[in-house]
Amino acid sequence: MPPAERGCPMPPASEREERRRRFFDQAAEGWEERHYPPEIRARLEPFLARLATAPGLTILDAGCGRGILLPHLRRLGGRDARLIALDASAAMLRGVADKDPGAVALHARAESIPLIDAYVDRVLCFAAFPHFEDQAGAAREFHRVLKPGGLALVLHLASAKAVNRHHEDHPAVRGDRLPDEKTMRDLFLRVGFVRVSLEESADSYCFSAEKEGKR
Protein backbone atom coordinates (compact mmCIF):
# COMPACT_ATOMS: atom_id res chain seq x y z
CA MET A 1 0.00 0.00 0.00
CA PRO A 2 1.32 3.50 -0.77
CA PRO A 3 2.08 5.65 2.29
CA ALA A 4 -0.65 8.13 3.22
CA GLU A 5 0.11 11.62 1.92
CA ARG A 6 -0.27 14.62 4.18
CA GLY A 7 0.44 17.55 1.87
CA CYS A 8 -0.03 20.86 3.68
CA PRO A 9 -0.90 20.70 7.37
CA MET A 10 -4.54 19.84 7.88
CA PRO A 11 -6.39 20.64 11.10
CA PRO A 12 -6.44 17.76 13.57
CA ALA A 13 -9.14 15.31 12.58
CA SER A 14 -11.15 12.90 14.68
CA GLU A 15 -9.98 9.29 14.67
CA ARG A 16 -12.85 8.36 12.40
CA GLU A 17 -12.03 11.13 9.94
CA GLU A 18 -8.35 10.18 9.99
CA ARG A 19 -9.27 6.56 9.18
CA ARG A 20 -11.47 7.70 6.32
CA ARG A 21 -8.71 9.94 4.97
CA ARG A 22 -6.24 7.04 5.02
CA PHE A 23 -8.79 4.90 3.21
CA PHE A 24 -9.18 7.45 0.41
CA ASP A 25 -5.42 8.07 0.23
CA GLN A 26 -4.86 4.36 -0.26
CA ALA A 27 -7.76 4.02 -2.71
CA ALA A 28 -6.56 6.89 -4.93
CA GLU A 29 -4.40 4.80 -7.25
CA GLY A 30 -6.65 3.24 -9.87
CA TRP A 31 -9.77 4.96 -8.46
CA GLU A 32 -11.29 5.83 -11.83
CA GLU A 33 -10.58 2.47 -13.37
CA ARG A 34 -12.35 0.75 -10.47
CA HIS A 35 -15.30 3.12 -10.04
CA TYR A 36 -15.94 4.71 -13.41
CA PRO A 37 -16.55 2.10 -16.10
CA PRO A 38 -17.57 3.50 -19.51
CA GLU A 39 -21.31 3.18 -18.86
CA ILE A 40 -21.02 5.38 -15.73
CA ARG A 41 -18.73 7.88 -17.48
CA ALA A 42 -21.28 8.25 -20.25
CA ARG A 43 -23.86 9.39 -17.71
CA LEU A 44 -21.69 12.06 -16.10
CA GLU A 45 -21.90 14.93 -18.54
CA PRO A 46 -25.67 14.89 -19.13
CA PHE A 47 -26.10 14.69 -15.35
CA LEU A 48 -23.88 17.74 -14.82
CA ALA A 49 -26.10 19.83 -17.06
CA ARG A 50 -28.05 20.49 -13.83
CA LEU A 51 -25.26 22.88 -12.87
CA ALA A 52 -26.64 25.34 -15.42
CA THR A 53 -23.16 26.60 -16.22
CA ALA A 54 -22.43 29.62 -18.35
CA PRO A 55 -19.08 30.71 -19.78
CA GLY A 56 -16.65 32.12 -17.25
CA LEU A 57 -18.24 30.81 -14.05
CA THR A 58 -16.18 29.81 -11.02
CA ILE A 59 -17.02 26.24 -10.03
CA LEU A 60 -15.92 24.50 -6.85
CA ASP A 61 -15.83 20.69 -6.94
CA ALA A 62 -15.95 19.80 -3.22
CA GLY A 63 -14.72 16.25 -2.57
CA CYS A 64 -13.34 16.09 -6.11
CA GLY A 65 -11.35 12.87 -5.66
CA ARG A 66 -9.07 12.34 -8.68
CA GLY A 67 -10.88 15.10 -10.54
CA ILE A 68 -12.97 12.84 -12.74
CA LEU A 69 -15.52 15.62 -13.30
CA LEU A 70 -13.06 18.29 -14.38
CA PRO A 71 -12.96 17.53 -18.14
CA HIS A 72 -16.77 17.58 -18.14
CA LEU A 73 -16.89 20.83 -16.19
CA ARG A 74 -14.36 22.35 -18.60
CA ARG A 75 -16.49 21.37 -21.59
CA LEU A 76 -19.66 22.69 -19.95
CA GLY A 77 -18.08 25.82 -18.50
CA GLY A 78 -15.80 26.66 -21.41
CA ARG A 79 -12.24 27.91 -21.61
CA ASP A 80 -12.88 30.82 -19.25
CA ALA A 81 -14.43 28.77 -16.45
CA ARG A 82 -12.40 28.81 -13.23
CA LEU A 83 -12.33 25.32 -11.81
CA ILE A 84 -11.41 24.72 -8.17
CA ALA A 85 -10.96 21.14 -7.01
CA LEU A 86 -10.98 20.52 -3.25
CA ASP A 87 -10.36 17.28 -1.39
CA ALA A 88 -9.19 16.17 2.05
CA SER A 89 -7.01 13.44 0.52
CA ALA A 90 -3.73 14.67 -0.98
CA ALA A 91 -3.30 11.39 -2.86
CA MET A 92 -6.66 11.88 -4.55
CA LEU A 93 -5.75 15.45 -5.51
CA ARG A 94 -2.66 14.22 -7.38
CA GLY A 95 -5.00 13.34 -10.24
CA VAL A 96 -6.24 16.89 -10.72
CA ALA A 97 -3.45 18.39 -12.83
CA ASP A 98 -3.74 15.56 -15.37
CA LYS A 99 -7.46 16.18 -15.74
CA ASP A 100 -7.31 19.92 -16.13
CA PRO A 101 -4.01 21.81 -15.96
CA GLY A 102 -5.91 25.05 -15.36
CA ALA A 103 -7.78 23.81 -12.29
CA VAL A 104 -6.69 24.93 -8.84
CA ALA A 105 -6.27 22.07 -6.34
CA LEU A 106 -7.07 22.76 -2.68
CA HIS A 107 -6.05 20.28 -0.01
CA ALA A 108 -8.71 21.05 2.56
CA ARG A 109 -11.85 19.88 4.28
CA ALA A 110 -15.21 20.90 2.89
CA GLU A 111 -16.00 22.04 6.42
CA SER A 112 -13.24 24.65 6.23
CA ILE A 113 -12.84 25.93 2.67
CA PRO A 114 -9.81 28.17 2.13
CA LEU A 115 -11.63 30.67 -0.08
CA ILE A 116 -12.91 34.14 0.64
CA ASP A 117 -16.65 34.77 1.01
CA ALA A 118 -18.82 34.97 -2.12
CA TYR A 119 -16.10 33.71 -4.47
CA VAL A 120 -17.76 30.92 -6.49
CA ASP A 121 -20.84 30.64 -8.67
CA ARG A 122 -21.42 26.92 -8.21
CA VAL A 123 -20.55 24.35 -5.60
CA LEU A 124 -20.70 20.81 -6.84
CA CYS A 125 -20.45 17.91 -4.45
CA PHE A 126 -20.47 14.64 -6.34
CA ALA A 127 -20.46 11.31 -4.50
CA ALA A 128 -18.80 12.97 -1.51
CA PHE A 129 -21.34 14.56 0.87
CA PRO A 130 -21.98 11.39 2.94
CA HIS A 131 -18.26 11.29 3.79
CA PHE A 132 -18.12 14.76 5.31
CA GLU A 133 -17.72 14.43 9.07
CA ASP A 134 -19.63 17.65 9.77
CA GLN A 135 -22.30 17.94 7.11
CA ALA A 136 -23.87 21.05 8.62
CA GLY A 137 -20.43 22.66 8.65
CA ALA A 138 -19.92 21.81 4.98
CA ALA A 139 -23.34 23.25 4.07
CA ARG A 140 -22.42 26.43 5.98
CA GLU A 141 -19.17 26.70 4.06
CA PHE A 142 -20.90 26.13 0.71
CA HIS A 143 -23.23 29.01 1.55
CA ARG A 144 -20.38 31.27 2.64
CA VAL A 145 -18.20 30.79 -0.46
CA LEU A 146 -21.10 31.08 -2.92
CA LYS A 147 -21.95 34.40 -4.53
CA PRO A 148 -25.54 35.64 -4.12
CA GLY A 149 -27.69 33.72 -6.59
CA GLY A 150 -25.16 30.87 -6.63
CA LEU A 151 -26.11 27.24 -6.60
CA ALA A 152 -24.98 24.25 -4.53
CA LEU A 153 -25.62 20.76 -5.86
CA VAL A 154 -25.19 17.44 -4.08
CA LEU A 155 -25.21 14.71 -6.70
CA HIS A 156 -25.02 10.93 -6.88
CA LEU A 157 -25.57 8.48 -9.68
CA ALA A 158 -27.64 6.32 -7.32
CA SER A 159 -30.54 6.79 -4.93
CA ALA A 160 -29.86 7.77 -1.31
CA LYS A 161 -30.89 4.30 -0.22
CA ALA A 162 -28.41 2.65 -2.60
CA VAL A 163 -25.61 5.05 -1.60
CA ASN A 164 -26.16 4.38 2.11
CA ARG A 165 -26.35 0.63 1.57
CA HIS A 166 -23.14 0.67 -0.49
CA HIS A 167 -21.21 2.37 2.32
CA GLU A 168 -22.31 -0.25 4.83
CA ASP A 169 -20.16 -2.80 2.93
CA HIS A 170 -16.95 -0.85 3.54
CA PRO A 171 -15.68 -0.65 7.14
CA ALA A 172 -13.77 2.63 6.58
CA VAL A 173 -16.90 4.48 5.43
CA ARG A 174 -19.57 2.50 7.29
CA GLY A 175 -22.11 4.93 8.67
CA ASP A 176 -21.34 7.62 6.06
CA ARG A 177 -24.86 8.49 5.00
CA LEU A 178 -26.91 10.86 2.94
CA PRO A 179 -29.41 12.28 5.44
CA ASP A 180 -33.12 11.76 4.81
CA GLU A 181 -34.83 14.44 2.77
CA LYS A 182 -36.14 16.50 5.69
CA THR A 183 -32.78 16.52 7.48
CA MET A 184 -31.01 17.48 4.25
CA ARG A 185 -33.43 20.35 3.61
CA ASP A 186 -33.12 21.56 7.20
CA LEU A 187 -29.31 21.43 7.06
CA PHE A 188 -29.24 23.75 4.07
CA LEU A 189 -32.15 26.01 5.06
CA ARG A 190 -30.67 26.54 8.52
CA VAL A 191 -27.43 27.97 7.09
CA GLY A 192 -29.31 30.41 4.88
CA PHE A 193 -30.01 28.63 1.58
CA VAL A 194 -33.34 29.16 -0.19
CA ARG A 195 -35.18 27.14 -2.83
CA VAL A 196 -33.87 23.77 -1.74
CA SER A 197 -35.14 20.81 -3.69
CA LEU A 198 -34.51 17.11 -4.12
CA GLU A 199 -35.02 15.11 -7.30
CA GLU A 200 -34.41 11.45 -6.81
CA SER A 201 -34.87 8.31 -8.89
CA ALA A 202 -33.73 4.70 -8.64
CA ASP A 203 -30.35 5.65 -10.11
CA SER A 204 -29.86 9.33 -9.36
CA TYR A 205 -29.92 11.83 -6.53
CA CYS A 206 -29.86 15.57 -7.12
CA PHE A 207 -30.21 17.96 -4.19
CA SER A 208 -29.98 21.63 -5.04
CA ALA A 209 -29.96 24.77 -2.92
CA GLU A 210 -29.68 28.40 -3.93
CA LYS A 211 -28.05 31.30 -2.14
CA GLU A 212 -30.43 34.21 -2.02
CA GLY A 213 -29.65 37.24 -4.13
CA LYS A 214 -29.22 38.35 -7.70
CA ARG A 215 -26.91 36.45 -10.01
Ligand X SMILES: C[S@@+](CC[C@H](N)C(=O)[O-])C[C@H]1O[C@@H](n2cnc3c(N)ncnc32)[C@H](O)[C@@H]1O
List of residues contacting ligand X (CB under 6 A): 24, 63-66, 68, 87-89, 92, 109-111, 126-128, 131-133
Contact 211, 143 (CB under 8 A): yes
What's the rounded Cα separation, in Å, for the pair 45 and 103? Answer: 18
3-state secondary structure of 62: strand
Nearer to ligand X, 126 or 193 (CB): 126
Q: Nearest approach, Cβ of 215 to ligand X (angstroms)?
A: 25
Nearer to ligand X, 31 or 54 (CB): 31
Nearer to ligand X, 89 or 208 (CB): 89
Measured N-to-C along each axis, helices 135-145 and 181-190 cross at an angle, to the nearest 10 degrees, of 50
Q: Which letter does DSSP use for residue 209 in this model? A: E
Rg (CA), the chain: 16
Nearer to ligand X, 81 or 96 (CB): 96
Contact 133, 96 (CB under 8 A): no
Which stretch of DSSP H or E encloses residue 76?
helix 70-77
Q: Nearest approach, Cβ of 125 to ligand X (angstroms)?
A: 8
Which residue number is nearest to ligand X in terms of Cβ?
A: 65
| Number of other CB atoms surrounding residue 54 within 10 Å | 14
Contact 174, 124 (CB under 8 A): no
Q: Nearest approach, Cβ of 161 to ligand X (angstroms)?
A: 17
Q: Nearest approach, Cβ of 214 to ligand X (angstroms)?
A: 29
Q: Nearest approach, Cβ of 110 to ligand X (angstroms)?
A: 4
